[in-house]
Amino acid sequence: MLPTASRGRASSSTSRANPMFVQYLRRIVKWQQMDIEYSFWQMLHLCTSPKVVYQHTKYHKQTKNQWARDDPAFVVICSFLLAVATLAYCAAYDHSAAHAVYVTFSVLVFHFLLAAVLLATLCWFLTNSYLREEVPSSYAVEQRVEWLYAFDVHCNSFFPVFVLLYVIHYFVSPLLVAHGFIPVLLSNILFMVAASYYHYLNFLGYDVLPFLERTTFFLYPIGVVIVLSPILILSGFNPSRYFMNMYFSHRL
């Protein structure tokens, strides 16, 4: 069980949470104010040099006095790319336009947005409740993880998963959904790499916050993934067939 951090005065960032979130939502419909180029730069480096992205997060804190992005461009672009990828799957495996719309809506709303809200809320609660350093003085300002930053961390961690399990997976899916040991092995390896990289990026996102401790907690799920993968392989479980069957069982 994780030790609980001491309760103290709420930081100034907490009082700014609601206005910051409102401003974030308003900018979603104002694409002219979005920094599209910087978002693509972040996406590229999350797949190649993720530490560089979180080094820039420190600069953002110094200039904007908040850890979270104030620009929704990353989420908007990620949602668009996810919709395009889902439509590509539907074009290859679906049988009707109506079902394709249903699948695309389900992936965007449930697999991405709802999952992002739930996981961000869970990490936000865990970090603020158990991983914050104890404030040494009652006069010191207590810092807390912004919910919007937890949402950013999840979205950052999700993008390489998208590249692996939606883009690369699409091109090799005819092999991965086939019957036999090789498809089972390759599918499990792909999912293992994606899940492990997701949790590694989660760790980097919270490790950069100077007021958190024991952030290696976010690396623990990688051990679980590594232990479970051989078991799933030996049992013949194919995650590619399992998830594809959720929407395209009639074509597999």
Examine residue 91 and state whether it is found in any structural domain, yes or no.
Answer: yes
Q: How far is the C-alpha of 113 from the C-alpha of 9, rounded, in Å? A: 31
pLDDT per residue rounded down to tens, the chain (252 residues): 454 444 444 444 444 556 666 777 676 777 777 889 999 999 999 999 999 999 999 888 888 888 999 889 999 999 999 999 999 999 999 888 999 999 999 999 999 999 999 999 999 999 999 999 876 666 567 789 999 999 999 999 999 999 999 999 999 999 999 999 999 999 999 999 999 999 999 999 999 999 999 999 999 999 999 999 999 999 999 999 999 999 887 666
pLDDT, one tens digit per residue, over 5-21 is 444 444 444 445 566 66
Q: How far is the C-alpha of 152 from the C-alpha of 49, rounded, in Å? A: 17
Read off φ and ψ for residue 132, nearest 5 degrees. -75, 145
Angle at 122 between CA 230 and CA 80, to 5 degrees: 80
Of 243, 161, 227, 228, which is closest to residue 200 (Cα–Cα)?
161
Examine residue 25 and state whether it is found in any structural domain, yes or no.
Answer: no
Examine residue 139 and state whether it is found in any structural domain, yes or no.
Answer: no
Examine residue 237 and state whether it is found in any structural domain, yes or no.
Answer: yes
Examine residue 9 and state whether it is found in any structural domain, yes or no.
Answer: no
Domain that holds residue 235: 32-132+144-248
For the chain, what is the domain count? 1
Q: How buried is 3 (Cβ within 10 angstroms: 0-12 exposed, 13-18 middle, 19+ buried)?
A: exposed
Angle at 110 between CA 233 and CA 178, to 5 degrees: 30
Give the DSSP letter string of 196-236: HHHHHHHHHHHHT-TTB--GGGGGHHHHHHHHHHHHHHHHT
Examine residue 183 and state whether it is found in any structural domain, yes or no.
Answer: yes
Examine residue 64 and state whether it is found in any structural domain, yes or no.
Answer: yes
Examine residue 138 and state whether it is found in any structural domain, yes or no.
Answer: no
DSSP 8-state class, residue 72 = T
pLDDT, one tens digit per residue, over 229-246 is 999 999 999 999 999 999
Query: What's the confidence (pLDDT) of residue 137?
Result: 60
Of 162, 154, 160, which is closest to residue 89 (Cα–Cα)?
162
